[in-house]
Amino acid sequence: MPYIDYANDAASTSSDNKKPKLPLDKNFHRVYRTVVDEKKTTKLDDGKVYYKKAAVGIYGSGPIGTRIRNAVTGTRYNYLVGSADEDFLYSVALCTGENGLKHSVSMFYDSPEQYENHMKTEVDADWKAQWRAQQV
């Protein structure tokens, strides 16, 4: 007698499989940054610089009194938001509204360089020097 497997995932035509899955975390947000499209700029070699939108996933920290999270990895530190310990980390607030929320998102990084690499931007050298002076 043949066996028919009705629960076969390969036969599923659900549209849910086509959507990118986001982490089930209320403090995870996705924003977009404009970056240079190196591949297209090099390929065409017509003297123009081409740009593209790049998705950046960020983990925000919660309100005052919650544990601080690394914005890149989502790792929770033993420091609390609003405590003096948060000065050990480089903090940034995302207040542009591009995440679709009406409130800002607090992000914490190990260093200004980690922020630059993650958000595809540059931090002024004076700001970096000032932050490093506070760490001593």
Over residues 65-81, the pLDDT tens digits come to 999 999 999 999 999 99
Residue bearing tokens 């980390």: 89
Q: Residue written as tokens 């009705």?
A: 6
Confidence check: pLDDT of 21 > 80: no
Helix (H) / strand (E) element for 125: namely helix 125-135
Compute the distance between CA of residue 112 and CA of residue 89 in angstroms, rounded to an integer.
9
pLDDT higher than threshold 90 for residue 3: no
Examine the pLDDT at 101 and tell me if it is beyond 80: no
* pLDDT for 45: 74
Give the pLDDT score at 43.
73
**Choice among 17-21, 85-89, 117-121, 129-133 with the minimum mean pLDDT:** 17-21
Residue 13: its pLDDT value, please?
Answer: 53
pLDDT band (50, 70, 90) for residue 14: low
pLDDT value, residue 47 = 79
Tens of pLDDT, residues 23-50: 677 788 888 888 888 777 777 778 788 8
53 vs 18: which has the higher pLDDT: 53
CA nearest to 70, candidates 101, 41, 107: 107
DSSP 73: T
